[in-house]
Amino acid sequence: MSNTVIYRNCRIFTGSETLTGKAIVTQGSLIRSIVDEDNVSENAEDLHGLNIAPAFIDLQIYGANNHLFSAHPGTEAIAHTYNYCLGGGCSQFMITMATNSIEIFLQGMDAVRDYWQQGGKGLLGLHLEGPYMNPVKKGAHIEKYVKKPTEEEVKMLLEKGRGIFKMITLAPEICDDKIIHLLIDNGIIVSAGHSNATYEEAQKGFAAGIPTATHLFNAMSPFQSREPGLVGAIYNNPGVKSSIVADGVHVDFVSLKISKQVMGNRLFFITDAVTNSDQGGYQHIFKGDRYTLPDGTLSGSSLTMMQSVKNVIQHAGIPLEEALRMASTYPAELLKTPTRYGKIAPGFAAEFVVFDDTLTVKQVIC
The β-bridge relationship of strands 22-27 and 4-13 is antiparallel
Average pLDDT over residues 191-207: 98
Active site residues: 272
**Long-range CB pairs of 67-70, under 8 A, 24+ apart, other chains included:** 67/275, 68/274, 68/275, 68/276, 68/277, 68/279, 68/280, 68/282, 68/284, 69/95, 69/96, 69/97, 69/108, 69/111, 70/97, 70/98, 70/100, 70/104, 70/108, 70/280, 70/281, 70/282
- pLDDT class of 195 with cuts at 50, 70, 90: very high
Mean pLDDT of all residues belonging to the chain: 97
Contacts of 252 (CB under 8 A, 6+ apart): none
- pLDDT class of 42 with cuts at 50, 70, 90: confident
Residue 41: predicted pLDDT? 82
Query: What domains lie within the chain, and their CATH numbers?
Result: 4-54+345-365 (2.30.40.10), 56-332 (3.20.20.140)
pLDDT in tens, 170-185: 999 999 999 999 999 9
Average pLDDT over residues 122-149: 97
pLDDT in tens, 83-103: 999 999 999 999 999 999 999
Q: Of 180 and 1, which is predicted with more confidence?
A: 180
Q: List phi, psi (to 5°) of 127.
A: -105, 120
pLDDT at 1 over 60: no
pLDDT in tens, 322-342: 999 999 999 999 999 999 999
